[in-house]
Amino acid sequence: MALTAFCSEEAEILYRLQCVNRMMGVKFEACTGISQSRLELLSLLFQADEISQSDLQKKVNIDSAAVTRHLKQLETKGMVTRRRKPEDNRVTLVRLTEEGRTRIEASKKEKERFISEMLENVSDEERKLLTDVLIRLQQNIEKIQTT
């Protein structure tokens, strides 16, 4: 059933996806103590010794200004360090600190618990179907031409 008489079933899908995304972000941060975006940045840094901020930005689906803000906050908390590349002062290199590594390790269990509770009462078959549908939606959205 649609939300209102003016909302089609298709429009309700968009609405529900937006609601889930907002709610998931708020609850995830409340449970883990860190936003999904910052945890994703830390996880990518965990896999690399040092990476340029622009390369890091290309690996995540976050605009460059937001990446800069996130890194600044993570740097303030002692989780990352940033420095200019000696050979090219325009390039900022980012590295995970020991505090950042510790934070990632601590977040793993919290993240797993959050995911487990989020997917409670969702069967393996439904999870697979949901994943497939979300992948197709993502691919369709990527194809949409903007002006």
Q: How many CB atoms lie within 10 A of CB 12?
A: 14
Q: Per the confidence metrics, is the pTM higher than 0.85?
A: no
- Note the pLDDT of residue 49: 84
Among 43, 51, 34, CA closest to 95: 51
Please provide the average confidence, as pLDDT, over all residues in the chain: 91
- For residue 2, pLDDT over 80 is answered with no
- pLDDT confidence of 3, banded at 50, 70, 90? low
Give me the pLDDT at residue 106, please.
87
Assigned CATH class of 34-108: mainly alpha
Domain boundaries, the chain: 34-108
Write out the DSSP string of 64-100.
Answer: HHHHHHHHHHHHHTTSEEEEEETTEEEEEEEEE-HHH
Please count the other Cβ atoms lying within 10 Å of the Cβ belonging to residue 136: 10
Whether residue 24 is predicted with pLDDT greater than 70 in this model: the reply is yes
63-106 pLDDT, tens digit each = 899 999 999 999 999 999 999 999 999 999 999 999 999 988 88
Percent of the chain with pLDDT over 70: 96
Round to whole Å and give the CA distance between 70 and 66. Answer: 6
Q: What percent of the chain has pLDDT over 90?
A: 75
- What distances in angstroms separate CA 25 from CA 29, 37, 47, 50, one per listed residue? 6, 9, 23, 27
- Is residue 108 predicted with pLDDT exceeding 90? no
Tokens 């995970």, located at residue: 96
**What's the pLDDT at 4?**
58
Which positions ≥6 away from 79 have C-beta within 8 Å?
A: 42, 96, 97, 99, 100, 103
- 12: tokens are 């309700």
Mean pLDDT for 115-144 is 96
Give the mean pLDDT of 54-60: 91
